[in-house]
C-alpha cells in the first residue's frame, strides 16, 4: 500500500470530520447526556440526534455527507477510465466495491457475524446506500456527459416524487407521507419481507417492527442523486477554473439547493428516513456549503495546521466506520477503569465510551503514520 499524494486535502478533512462525528462524538455525547440529565444539555443534544420523521437536524446530515463525498472523489479516481474503449477493468473495480460495501453493511448491522439465519437483513445500512448510489453515479460518469448526468439526477428526483405522489397500492401511497402509509414503506415490506431489518416471523406470518421506518428500495433512486450531487461538486473541484471561483460556485450552488429543497418541502416533506427528493436537495445543499467552506479554508487559504487528526479519520474512513460498528473495545476500558465506577457513578458510561473511541483513533493513527490506507 503506497502513500497517497496530491490529494484534495479539504475532502480528506471534511470526510474526517464526518467520521469523527459518527465514530467518536455520537458515542460519547449521548451517555454524557444521561449522566448530566439537564434540560439545557438535552436541548443541545437535539443537534446530535435524528429527527423522528419530518424535518432535518444537523445530525441528519452525517449519512448524506458520507455519500456525497463518495461522489466528490469520483472524478479524481475514475477520470482516466473514461476514454478507455475497454472498460472491463473499471467495471470490475466498481463491482468489487459495490459487493464489498454490501457485505460490510450487513456486517455492521450484525447480520452476518450473528450467524443467525433469522437475522439476515438484506438492505439496511449506510454502506449499502453508498454502494447503490456509487453504482448509479459511476455508470453515468463513465458513459454520459455532464449535462446528461444533471438531467438524470433531476429525472430521478422527479421519478421518486411522482411514484410517491401518484401511485397508490393497498392503501399506501397516493401522496401519503406518514410512516405507515407511504409507498416506499409498502415496497420494502413487499419486496424484502422477513429480510427487512427488524422483521420477524411469528406463527408463519411476517411481523414488521413498529420502530423501523427506514426505506431503501425506492429510496435507491435518490441515493443515486445524493452521490451524483457529490460528483457535480467533484467536477467543479477538478476543473481548471480559478480556486476562488471554485469555492464561490460551491457556496452558491449549495445555498440555492437548500432554498429550493425547503420550498419543495412545503409539498413533499423533508424526511430523511425515506430519503425524499426535497430532503436530497436540502442535505446536498448543506454538503455543498460544507465542501465550499472546507475548500476555502484549507485548499484556498492554505490553513493546514491542526488538521492531521481529522485526516487520520478521513483517509481510512471505511476502516473507521467498520471498527466503530463491528468491533467493541469497551472491554479494554472496563478492565482498566472498573474501579472508578463506584466514585464517578453515571459518568462511568461516558468514560468507557471515550476509551472505546480513543482506541479506535489510535488504530487509525497507527495506520496513518505507516501510510496504510485501506480502500474498498
pTM of the model: 0.92
Strands 168-169 and 172-173: antiparallel
Task: Report the alpha-carbon distance of residue 343 to residue 261 in Å, rounded.
Answer: 50
Please name the helix (run of DSSP H) or strand (run of DSSP E) that holds residue 364, with its range, or none.
helix 348-369
> Are 74 and 234 spatial neighbours (Cβ–Cβ below 8 Å)?
yes
Task: Report the alpha-carbon distance of residue 150 to residue 356 in Å, rounded.
Answer: 42
- CA quadruple 102, 30, 271, 215: dihedral sign: positive
In degrees, rounded to 5, the angle at the alpha carbon of residue 70 between the alpha carbons of residues 67 and 76 is: 160
One pLDDT digit (tens) per residue for the chain, 376 residues:
434 445 789 999 999 999 999 999 988 998 898 888 888 988 888 888 999 999 999 999 999 999 999 999 999 999 889 888 888 989 999 999 999 999 999 888 877 777 777 778 889 999 999 999 999 999 999 999 999 999 999 999 999 999 999 999 999 999 999 999 999 999 999 999 989 988 888 888 999 988 899 999 999 999 999 999 999 999 999 999 999 999 999 999 999 999 999 999 999 999 999 999 999 999 999 999 999 999 999 999 999 999 999 999 999 999 999 999 888 898 898 898 888 888 888 899 999 999 999 999 999 999 999 998 888 7
User: Which pLDDT belongs to residue 110?
Assistant: 73
User: Which pLDDT belongs to residue 356?
Assistant: 93
Q: What residue segments make up the domains of the chain, in order of their start?
A: 9-369
Phi/psi at 200 (5° precision): -135, 160
User: Which pLDDT belongs to residue 2?
Assistant: 38
Give the 3-state secondary structure of residue 197: coil
With cell 413533499, the residue in question is 268
73, 79, 155, 221, 268 from 151: Cα distances, Å: 21, 20, 6, 14, 20
User: Which pLDDT belongs to residue 177?
Assistant: 97
User: Which pLDDT belongs to residue 118?
Assistant: 74
Strands 200-202 and 205-207: antiparallel
Phi/psi at 249 (5° precision): -65, -45
User: Which pLDDT belongs to residue 59?
Assistant: 94
294, 219, 221, 226: which is closest to 261 by C-alpha? 226
User: Which pLDDT belongs to residue 243?
Assistant: 93
Which DSSP category does 57 fall into? -
Amino acid at each position: 500500500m503506497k502513500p497517497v499524494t496530491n490529494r484534495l486535502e479539504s475532502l480528506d478533512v471534511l470526510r474526517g470530520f464526518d467520521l469523527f462525528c459518527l465514530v467518536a462524538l455520537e458515542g460519547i455525547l449521548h451517555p454524557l447526556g444521561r449522566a448530566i440529565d439537564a434540560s439545557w444539555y438535552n436541548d443541545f443534544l437535539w443537534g446530535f440526534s435524528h429527527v423522528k420523521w419530518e424535518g432535518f437536524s444537523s445530525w441528519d446530515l452525517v449519512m448524506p455527507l458520507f455519500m456525497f463525498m463518495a461522489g466528490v472523489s469520483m472524478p479524481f479516481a475514475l477520470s482516466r477510465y473514461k476514454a478507455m474503449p475497454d472498460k472491463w477493468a473499471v467495471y470490475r473495480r466498481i463491482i468489487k466495491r459495490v459487493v464489498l460495501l454490501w457485505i460490510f453493511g450487513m456486517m455492521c448491522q450484525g447480520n452476518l457475524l450473528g450467524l443467525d439465519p433469522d437475522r439476515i437483513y438484506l438492505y439496511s445500512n449506510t454502506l449499502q446506500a453508498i454502494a447503490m448510489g456509487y453504482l448509479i453515479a459511476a455508470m453515468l460518469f463513465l458513459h454520459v456527459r455532464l449535462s446528461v448526468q444533471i438531467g438524470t439526477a433531476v429525472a430521478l428526483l422527479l421519478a421518486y416524487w411522482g411514484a410517491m405522489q401518484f401511485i397508490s397500492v393497498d392503501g399506501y401511497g397516493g401522496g401519503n407521507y406518514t410512516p405507515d402509509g407511504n409507498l416506499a414503506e409498502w415496497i420494502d415490506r413487499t419486496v424484502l419481507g422477513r429480510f427487512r431489518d427488524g422483521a420477524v416471523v411469528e406463527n408463519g406470518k411476517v411481523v414488521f417492527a413498529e420502530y423501523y421506518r427506514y426505506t431503501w428500495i425506492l429510496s435507491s433512486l435518490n441515493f443515486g442523486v445524493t452521490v451524483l450531487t457529490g460528483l457535480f461538486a467533484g467536477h467543479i473541484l477538478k476543473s481548471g477554473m480559478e480556486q476562488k471561483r471554485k469555492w464561490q460556485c460551491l457556496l452558491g450552488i449549495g445555498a440555492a439547493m437548500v432554498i429550493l429543497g425547503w420550498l419543495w418541502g412545503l409539498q413533499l416533506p423533508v424526511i430523511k428516513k425515506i430519503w425524499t427528493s426535497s430532503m436530497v436537495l436540502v442535505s446536498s445543499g448543506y454538503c455543498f456549503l460544507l465542501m465550499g467552506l472546507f475548500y476555502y479554508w484549507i485548499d484556498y487559504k492554505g490553513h493546514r495546521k491542526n488538521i492531521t487528526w481529522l485526516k487520520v479519520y478521513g483517509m481510512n474512513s471505511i476502516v473507521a466506520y467498520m471498527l466503530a460498528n463491528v468491533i467493541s473495545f469497551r472491554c479494554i476500558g472496563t478492565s482498566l477503569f472498573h474501579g472508578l465506577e463506584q466514585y464517578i457513578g453515571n459518568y462511568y458510561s461516558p468514560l468507557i465510551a471515550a476509551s472505546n473511541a480513543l482506541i479506535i483513533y489510535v488504530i487509525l493513527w497507527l495506520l496513518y503514520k505507516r501510510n496504510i490506507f485501506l480502500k474498498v
